Amino acid sequence: MCATVTLAVLSEVAPATAGPLLVDAPELTRLGRTLYTSNGSWLPSGNSYTYRWERCGAGGCAVVPGRTASSYLLTTADIGRRIRSIVTASNGALGPSSAPSDATDPIVASPPLNMVPPVVTGNGPTLTSTLGTWSDPSPASLSYTRRWQRCSGGSGLTCEDVAGQSGATYALSAADADKFIRVVVSAEGLGARSVASAPFGPIPAPPAPGGGPGGGSGGDPGGGSGTGPGSTGSTPPPVTPRKLRPFPKVVVAGRVARGLTFISALVVRSGPSGAGVSVRCRGRGCPKGAFRGKLNRRGALRLKRFQRIYGPGTTIEIRVTRRGAIGKFTRLKVRRRSVPSRRDACLMPGARKLSRCP
């Protein structure tokens, strides 16, 4: 009699459609910005698995829409939250069973690092920008936005956003005359970081009606005071050399550690194709001999020979020149516990002394 009662009770509490039985819960592994979940261990074997991910906070956990893979790429929305996976096991006629992993610790922001800043180039009514070079555990997943800014002042450091300008190119307008233009690139991964390009300019004013400010009444270039090149007995005005166009930029990247400086990138870019480049290095860590080269068709030259470790006091001088034009000069001086000091100046044609850029 007792055995009969026991069997009846067992029959009532053992559903015929129970899902697989969980033996070990799913576990998370993190590599860079990506979380990976294991399936856990289930009985019987031979199950199929599906996944969902939840973002947890003080108010509990909520499903992250669209995340159904066995891996999860962390984004800015996860900062300060805890992430866990939910694994569902199914096995033929058995119903599904689900189990959560342990949640992660609160996610901490880790914005991408900028290795080479963005650059603005142009030789006409439209300027073009690059994104720069960025370092991130998942670089292919970074998203980028741009803001164009108009800057005033000789240093080009007083800048304001230009409304409606957020593309890779920028169309110049009359409002940009005598101003500098720069682009601010924001890269977003697990956090966001923004870096501005060097200011481009100053932007020349559009020519005055009638062919330019030197025209006299009736379009006579020598009219007016009688001192123009069309006047009898007048002396032509001296020809002022012009800067290299586009004017090149020198980009330096690296790090300082234990009193030494490691330059990982040294590039001349955004200059005129064919311009000459000479480099002179003096001090600890310098390669032997001077260097001479030319900018390629894109107006760039990577100085790989000088990407190395330098000791304090070392100086590197870079000259970009072309006959009859005002050239570019950059001097880097390595310091013990800080980034190298830098001086940028102009080189007048045929002159050895440096001068301020016009």
343 and 248 fall within a common domain: yes
Domain count, the chain: 3
Q: How much is the average pLDDT of 28-50?
A: 94
pLDDT bracket for residue 356 (50, 70, 90):
confident
113 and 143 fall within a common domain: yes
* Three-state secondary-structure class, residue 254: strand
Burial of 84 per CB tally in 10 Å (0-12, 13-18, 19+): buried
Contact 254, 261 (CB under 8 A): yes
124 and 163 fall within a common domain: yes
Report the range of poorest mean pLDDT among 30-44, 159-173, 229-243, 262-276: 229-243
Give the angle subtended at the CA of 8 by the CAs of 4 and 14, to the nearest 5°: 140
Report the range of poorest mean pLDDT among 107-111, 282-286, 337-341: 337-341
Q: How much is the average pLDDT of 323-329?
A: 87
Contacts of 7 (CB under 8 A, 6+ apart): none
Q: Which residue has the higher pLDDT, 198 or 232?
A: 198
**For the chain, what percent of residues have pLDDT higher than 90?**
61
Q: How much is the average pLDDT of 16-27?
A: 84
CATH no. for residue 268? 2.60.40
Residue 227 has pLDDT above 90, yes or no: no
Kindly report the average pLDDT of the chain as a whole number: 84
27 and 117 fall within a common domain: no
71 and 158 fall within a common domain: no
96 and 153 fall within a common domain: no
Domain assignment of residue 6, yes or no:
no
Q: Containing domain of residue 190, as a range?
A: 109-203
- The candidate with the shortest Cα–Cα distance to 32, out of 141, 133, 123, is 141
* Residue at which a domain ends, from 100, 118, 145: 100
Contact 334, 283 (CB under 8 A): yes
Kindly report, residue by residue over 82-141, the tens digit of the pLDDT: 999 999 999 887 789 999 999 999 999 999 999 999 999 988 799 999 999 999 999 999
Q: What is the pLDDT of residue 205?
A: 80
Domain assignment of residue 235, yes or no:
no
Residue 313 region by backbone torsions, left for phi larger than 0, else alpha for psi between -120 and 50, else beta? left
Domain assignment of residue 228, yes or no:
no
Kindly report, residue by residue over 148-176, the tens digit of the pLDDT: 999 987 555 789 999 999 999 999 999 99
45 and 69 fall within a common domain: yes
CATH no. for residue 185? 2.60.40.2700
Instruction: Supply 268's token pair.
Output: 């001349």
344 and 275 fall within a common domain: yes
- H helical segments located in 106-149: none
Contact 47, 21 (CB under 8 A): no
* Residue at which a domain ends, from 203, 218, 252: 203
Contact 116, 265 (CB under 8 A): yes
Domain assignment of residue 1, yes or no:
no
pLDDT bracket for residue 19 (50, 70, 90):
confident
* Residue at which a domain ends, from 100, 125, 154: 100
Distance separating alpha carbons of residues 82 and 92, to the nearest angstrom = 33
